[in-house]
Structure 1
Amino acid sequence: MKQETTSIERLFRQHYSKMYHLARYILFDTDECHDVVSDVFARILEDKITLLPDTEEAFLLRSVRNRCLNLIARKSVKERATRQLLDDTTGVMAADDDERLDQLMLIISHLEPPLRQQILRLRYLQEMSYQEIADNLCVSKVTVYNHLSQAMDTIRKHLKTTKR
């Protein structure tokens, strides 16, 4: 255990600056950059990854880059879905956000099958990835995607009909 700690400390001291600057170049957000670099080191500890001295820097930088790109992709999907829902609901009840939220929650509670409700809630309320949802519910990622897509279509239709 002491050797693992010493090894991770050496990696941290030797490579943190380069890893942070790479994350900063990609994300432009100080807090997210620190989180990404910390996540990479946490993964090394959790998975007990052994790095070869001649490839450790490349592995660490590639890990930071991949984690940053995954973070951007997750944010992009979430932002697009949120923007789409908000665009569809803007004219519906712009006067009262609580009423709009209540209407949205009512639509979600009536989604069929119940699995669709569960997938939607896991994705947007618990911010789980498609893979995490698939693993959690023992379904495929394609099933998760299809249910989310159909749920969004249903919500959009309900909001448009109430808009008229």
Structure 2
Amino acid sequence: MLGRHRPGGFVRAVGGGLGWGIGAAVGHRLGAPERPAVAVLGDGCAMFGLQGLWSAAHHRVPVLFVAMANGEYHTLKDTFDARGGSPSVACPGLDLGELDWRPAARFFGIPAVRVDDAEELAQTVAAVRGLDGPLLAEVASQGHAGAPRVRP
């Protein structure tokens, strides 16, 4: 359960903030080390701030990074639709293809897991208080307009 009722319990960027989430989660946890941090990241947005994983690993910041892997810039496609885009018009450059976040996390020295269902995700999030360093959990999610993601 997100602590949205507590000041600082739910932090987000207005308008999406491509690349903001990883660094914000690391900074938030360093600023309030007694409070666990879970960063829920779209994989498109996370691509803009990937280097923040190095900081998390280097400083052993106990943050759970949840990469919602759908292989696209989902938010940008939603924005295109909201501004009158047509489903029949392609959104060039907004498909990332099949990304596997586990090797990306391991590249920076962060352990990573693949979460396959809601129960496993709940258990992973519930264990966040016991982290002694960062952890990345990849979760397959639906793409734009409900398109299922095919996992690598």
TM-score by length of 1: 0.22
